[in-house]
Structure 1
Amino acid sequence: MECWGFLPAIAACLLGIVVSQTTLAPAVTDTTVGEFVTATPMILSTTAPGCSALNTSTCEPCAPGSYYDNDTLLCSCCPDPGLCLFPGACLACSRGFYQSLSGQQQCLPCNNGFYTDVTGSPLCKSCPPGSFSNNTGADTCMSCSPGSFSSQQNSTSCRPCPQGTFCNSTSCAQCPTCPVGTESLQVAAKECTPCRPGMHKAPHQNMCQICNSGFFQVRWGQENCDVCPENHYCPSPDVNPIQCPNDAFCPQGSTAPGYCMETFFRKSGETCELAPVTIALLVIGGGAILFAILFGLRRKRDTDRELSMVRAPLLRKERPQGRYYGIPCDAEPVYAGW
C-alpha cells in the first residue's frame, strides 16, 4: 500500500517523521521541550489525513542529534554547534548552557566562573574582573558588592578589601589605597576615615602614623606633621605649641622647656651663667681648700723638725774610752788565728 497523493504530500503530512517501511502512518507523539531532550521511537496505530488507513505500519521520529530535511525527506545531522535535537527539529541551547559539537543529544551547563547570556551558544564566556559566578548554568555574572573585589577572570567569589584600602562601588577589580591623610582600620571598607589630630599619613603609607617627638598636628586628615617652632615646646602631638617660659630654653622641636641648674646657674641670653651665690661658694671653697693644703704642708714640716731634734743626741753620743780584755774599745778586732 502507499500513501495518498505524491511524495511531497507525504512530507507535508509527516514533518519530522521518516518512513521505516513502504507503508506509512502519521506520527502522533507526546514530547516536551526542555533543556535536555531525547526522543524514542513511537509505535503508531492511528490514522490521519494523508496516509492510508489500510495495513498501517510504524513511523519513527528523527533520531537524537538529527532533524527532518524537507529536501531529502530524510533525517540529517544538526549542522551547527550549540544546537541539540528535539524530535523533528534542532533546538538552540538555552541561556546558561552550551554545546561546542554538532549532532549532540544535550546541552552542557556553564561551569562556575563562566556564563552565557544568549541561546544556542557554542561556548561560555568568562566572568570579567569585578564579578563572579558560583553556580553552574549561569546566564549572567554577579557584581562584587562595595567593600569587596575580584581581580581575575573566572572568579567564583569576591574577596574583602584589606586594611588601608576601600571600594565604594560595585564591580571593583581592585581596592584602591586610601588617599593621603585617610585610612581604613577594618577589612571590607566602603570608605576611608581621616587621620585624627596628632597623626598623619603620607602617600606611601597604608595607615595613619603618630607624629614624631617635637612635632604637632591639630587638624584632621593631614599628610604631614609640623615641627614645633622655636621658643615653644610641644608636650603632645595633638595640642598647639606652648610658649616657652622666660627663664627656660626652647629650641625648635622641643618637647619640654629646658632650665639652667637652679641656684647655681641663671639664664643669660641663650646660655647659662654662674649665679652670684655660686661664685661666692667657689671662692669660699677654693680658700678653704688652699688653707687645708698649706696647713698640711706646715704640719708636715714641723713634724720633720721635731724628729730631727730627737734623733740628734743619739747620733752624736760618743763611747767612753776603755779596754775590754786588754783591747781598747775603739780598736779594730784582731783574728787570733786559732
Structure 2
Amino acid sequence: MSHQHLNGVTSPSSSSSSTRRRLRTTATTITDTPEPTTTPTTPTETPVPPSPTPRTDCLPCLSGSFYNNDTLDTSCTGCSDGFCGNPASCLLCPLGTFTAENASTTCQICAAGYIAAAMGLSECKPCPQGTTSDDSHTVCQNCPPGTASYQEGDICQKCPAGFYSGARAEFCNECSPGTYNALLGQAKCTDCGPGRFNSQSGQKSQSACRPCPSGKYCPDEATQIPVDCPSNNYCPAESANPTGCPSMFQAGPNSSRCSPNSYFYIIIVSVSLIVLVAFGIVWKYRQIKSNQQIKMTNEVTMLIPRPMDGLEYGGF
C-alpha cells in the first residue's frame, strides 16, 4: 500500500525513500571528494665542481725553503741569512736571535755578551767593555759594581779578593795600601782603621793590617805608613794619635813614654829639704817640751816632804 501525504504529514514510505536518497547522495559526495595529501619538498643541491686530480710531480717545499710565486722557477728557494722557514714561507729571526746559514729552519739565541737589537740579523753584535747583554739579548747593560767585563762581548765577572770595581768597569782595581778585601765581587775595599796600617796594595786578609808600632801613630782610617811621634808626646803601640806629656815631664821624638825633666828633680829636692827642715824643727820643739816637763816634774818632787823613819807617814 502506497503511502499518501495526508494533511501535510509525510508517509513512512515517502520518508524512507527520501532518506535513502540523501544517504546515497552523501555517500556519493564522500566517495567523489579526494583526500588532501602532503608532497615532501626536495631541497635544491648546489652543484660541486669536481676536485682536480692531484699531480704526483708537485711536492711541498722543505723546511728552510719556500716557493717564490714571482718567478717561473719550479724549484724551492732557500731562506736567506737572517730568515728561518717552514714549508709555507721564510720568517725574520726575532729580536735576540740570528741565523748565519741559508735554508735555516731555526734561529739561534745570541751568546752571552752579544745582542741582536733588530729582526732578521745574520750575526749578533758584541757589547762593549764594561757592559754585557741582558736576559733578552737585545740591550747591552752596565756591569754592576764589584764586576767587570775585560773585552768586547765578555760577560761581567766578579772581582777577585784583593780587588774592587765600580759600575761599568772594564777591569778590577787593586785595593790600595791601608785597605784590604777578603771577598769576591766587592764594590770597595775595607779600611784597616785607626791605630793600624798596611803599606801594600791588593791585600786579601785583615791580618795584612798591622798594629802601629811604639813611638809612632796611625791617625787615618786607611793609614799606609805610620807617623813619627812628635817631641814632648808619647805613642804606645796601636796609637791613633800622640798623647802629650804631663807637666814636668818630657819626651823626645818617637817616644813611647815620657820622662821627668830637670824642673821635676829641682822640685823634688826642694820639697825634700823642706820636709827635712820641718821634721828637724818639730823634733827640736818636742825635745824642748820634753826637757821642760822633766824639769817641772823634778821641782814638784822636791816640794813634797819625804817620809821619816819609823811610823809610816800617812800624809796630810
TM band (smaller chain):
0.5 to 0.7
**Per-residue deviation at 1:74?**
5.5
Partner AA of 1:178 in structure 2: C
Please name the residue that 1:93 is paired with. 79
Give aligned-pair identity as a percent: 29
The answer as to whether partners of 2:233 and 2:250 remain within 8 angstroms in 1 is: no
Does residue 190 of structure 1 match 2:180? no
Correspondence list, 1:1-338, <5 A: 76-86=58-68, 87=72, 88-100=74-86, 102=87, 104=88, 106-150=89-133, 152=135, 154-173=136-155, 175-185=156-166, 187-204=167-184, 205-223=186-204, 224-236=208-220, 237-238=222-223, 240-244=225-229, 248-263=233-248, 277=267, 280=271
Partner AA of 1:148 in structure 2: T
Structure-1-length-normalised TM-score = 0.51
RMSD over aligned CA atoms reads 3.6
Partner AA of 1:90 in structure 2: C
> Matched residue of 1:111: which SS?
coil
Partner AA of 1:253 in structure 2: E
**Per-residue deviation at 1:230?**
2.6
Gaps of 5+ in 1: 1-71, 288-338
2-structure distance, mates of 1:144, 1:245: 56
2-structure distance, mates of 1:210, 1:146: 29
2-structure distance, mates of 1:92, 1:228: 76
Gaps of 5+ in 2: 1-53, 279-316
The answer as to whether partners of 1:84 and 1:107 remain within 8 angstroms in 2 is: yes
The answer as to whether partners of 2:232 and 2:258 remain within 8 angstroms in 1 is: no
The answer as to whether partners of 1:92 and 1:119 remain within 8 angstroms in 2 is: yes
Higher fraction of helix: 2
2-structure distance, mates of 1:94, 1:164: 43
Partner AA of 1:161 in structure 2: C
2-structure distance, mates of 1:245, 1:94: 81
2-structure distance, mates of 1:208, 1:78: 66
The structure-2 alpha-carbon separation of the partners of 1:216 and 1:76, relative to structure 1 and needing over 3 Å to count, comes to same
**Per-residue deviation at 1:203?**
2.9
Structure-2-length-normalised TM-score = 0.54
The structure-2 alpha-carbon separation of the partners of 1:163 and 1:191, relative to structure 1 and needing over 3 Å to count, comes to same
> Matched residue of 1:89: which SS?
coil
2-structure distance, mates of 1:271, 1:252: 14
> Matched residue of 1:159: which SS?
strand
The answer as to whether partners of 1:177 and 1:206 remain within 8 angstroms in 2 is: no
**Per-residue deviation at 1:266?**
7.7
**Per-residue deviation at 1:209?**
3.4
The answer as to whether partners of 2:196 and 2:223 remain within 8 angstroms in 1 is: no
**Per-residue deviation at 1:212?**
0.2
Pick which of 79-88 and 124-133 moved more.
Answer: 79-88
